[in-house]
Amino acid sequence: MPTGRGAQLDREQGLKLPPADPASFVARGLARLPADPKGALADFDAALALAPTYRHALQDKASVLSEILGQPEQAIQVLDTALKHHPSSAEALAGRGVLLARLGRRDEALRDARAVLALDDRPLTVYQAACIYALTAKQEPGDRREAAAAPGRGVPQGRVVAWMSPAPTRILNRSATSPPSETCFRHLERCSR
C-alpha cells in the first residue's frame, strides 16, 4: 500500500474517477470529508438520484448536514426519509433523537430514545440513547436518571463493555453498588453535543 506522496496521488486519482453506482458515490463522498463537505453532499445526492432510499447515502447526508454544515433541521428531514424506508435503522433513529434533543424538541426526542432502545441494545445504540436523555435533562432534570440508567440496559451485571473512551466504559460498568458518577454524566452531555 502506498504511503506519503504516492498515497496522496492515488487518492487524488481515485477522486477523479466517475462513480457508477450509489455505493461508489457514497465512498467518494466520504473520501472528500472533512475537507470538502459540499462535494461530499453532492456525491450523496448523486447516490440518492440513482437509489432514492439508499440508507448509507441518507445517513451520511444527514451527518454532513448536522455535524459539518450546522443544518440540523435539514438533517432531521433526511433522517425522516431514511426511517420511512428503513424503520428498523437504529442509527437513523438514534441520530434523529439526538438532533431533536439538541433542538429542544424533548417529546419527539424521547420517543426516538424509547423506540431505539426497544429496537437495539448494542452498546453504541444504548450510549446514543443515553445522550438523548442527557440532552433533554437540560429541560427536564428528571431525564438525568434515564441518561444514567440507559447504559446499563443490555449489559449483564458485572460486565464491562469497552468502546470509544474510558468514560463510557465506566458508564457501562454494570454494578448494583456503584451508580454512574457525575463525571460519566458530564461525559454523556459532552459527547451528545
Q: Average pLDDT in the 81-102 region?
A: 97
| pLDDT higher than 50, residue 178 | no
Q: What is the pLDDT of residue 146?
A: 85
Q: What is the pLDDT of residue 29?
A: 95
| pLDDT higher than 80, residue 2 | no
Q: Where residue 175 falls among pLDDT bands split at 50, 70, 90?
A: very low
In the structure grid, which three cell numbers stand for residue 43, read together? Answer: 456525491
Which of these, 104, 106, 108, 126, lies nearest to 116 by C-alpha position?
126
Model-level pTM greater than 0.75?
yes
Q: What is the pLDDT of residue 174?
A: 32
Tell me the one-letter amino acid at 102: R
Q: What angle do CA 144, 149, 150 make, to 5 degrees?
A: 100
Backbone angles phi, psi at 52, to 5 degrees: -60, -20
Cα–Cα distance measured from residue 4 to residue 11, given in angstroms and rounded to the nearest whole number: 11
- Could you tell me where the DSSP H helices lie in the chain? 4-16, 22-32, 37-50, 55-63, 72-85, 90-102, 106-119, 123-136, 143-149, 166-171, 182-191
Q: What is the pLDDT of residue 33?
A: 93
Q: Average pLDDT in the 119-125 region?
A: 90
